[in-house]
Structure 1
């Protein structure tokens, strides 16, 4: 790791793509955004996808943040964890939940509701092995409707993409939590 700088320089925060991202972000651009701005078409697609995953799904906020934080742990994405920990807390995750999320067998711990445990098992399977075993899928399917299963699957995949980008470019954690 380079310390406090990513492997590539940040692009200038200017132009229509930067403005579009800033609208979703409430006026601030993160280091992640400024790296994406080197490719405006990729940055625009990323912004649309992550905006939808963050604010246009029917998944409850606690489930959404469980997924994001678990993917961050599994892929060792410190930026993603730092950015989403405060959001997870706002969604109702406790200190205990956040500690347990860092454990290898988090889904099996007794701190979760049945739907949280099923979502974590799905996230673990999809992130670790890509293929989701039938029993893990069935547990999620029993607790979520079809739309939510699609949204969950896209959320896990989307934040796997985010974490891989952050880790490959060695983007350091943000100060103050600007989320992806």
Structure 2
């Protein structure tokens, strides 16, 4: 699919969030200016406005990238995950079938990963998993976790469906 024209008001909204540059993802979103602006608002809030710690957010994003085969999402978010303190061992564990069971994750990280897997794989999160999340996160963080999982599932599905290539230095979300 060809890139959309990047000189619209919607493009300026995306550029402002990205620090002046449009990503390949943005250039595709601009085929629908209203969707592009809504996307930017939602993903901007998930990236910069939640009470979730940065490591939890990035673990969710990377796990969804693995589950949905969205390599663009992984490449775009791995540097942010590293800045948030995610280790090489944790990054490797995220690519395994039972990532949450790996001993490299803290209790809250493991619970968040179990939630991410359940929500991504079967949508309906088992009561035991939800209760475990509630033991670690407050009401706001639970809402933000659910929205982060759903939001980045949307991102991965968009990237995979449109076969967005993974260019160097690209930023998703």
Give the C-alpha shift of residue 179 in structure 1.
2.7
1:83 aligns with 2:58: no
Native 8 Å contact 1:68 1:80 kept in 2: yes
Question: 1:134-149 maps to which residues of 2 (within 5 A)?
Answer: 134-149=127-142
**CA–CA distance in 1 between the matches of 2:12 and 2:92?**
36
Tell me how many residue pairs correspond in the alignment.
173
Question: 1:38-53 maps to which residues of 2 (within 5 A)?
Answer: 38-53=31-46
CA offset digits 1:135-176 (Å, max 9, x no partner): 000000000000000000000000000000000000011311
Aligned position for 2:26: 33
| Higher RCO (CA-CA < 8 Å; seq separation 6+) | 1
Unpaired segments ≥5 residues, structure 2: none
Aligned position for 2:125: 132
Given candidates 44, 52, 77, the residue that maps to 1:59 is 52
**CA–CA distance in 2 between the matches of 1:49 and 1:79?**
19
Runs ≥4 in structure 1, deviation > 4 angstroms?
none
1:168 aligns with 2:168: no
**CA–CA distance in 2 between the matches of 1:152 and 1:51?**
15
Unpaired segments ≥5 residues, structure 1: 1-7
SS at match of 1:112: coil
CA offset digits 1:7-51 (Å, max 9, x no partner): x11112111110111110011111100000000000000000000
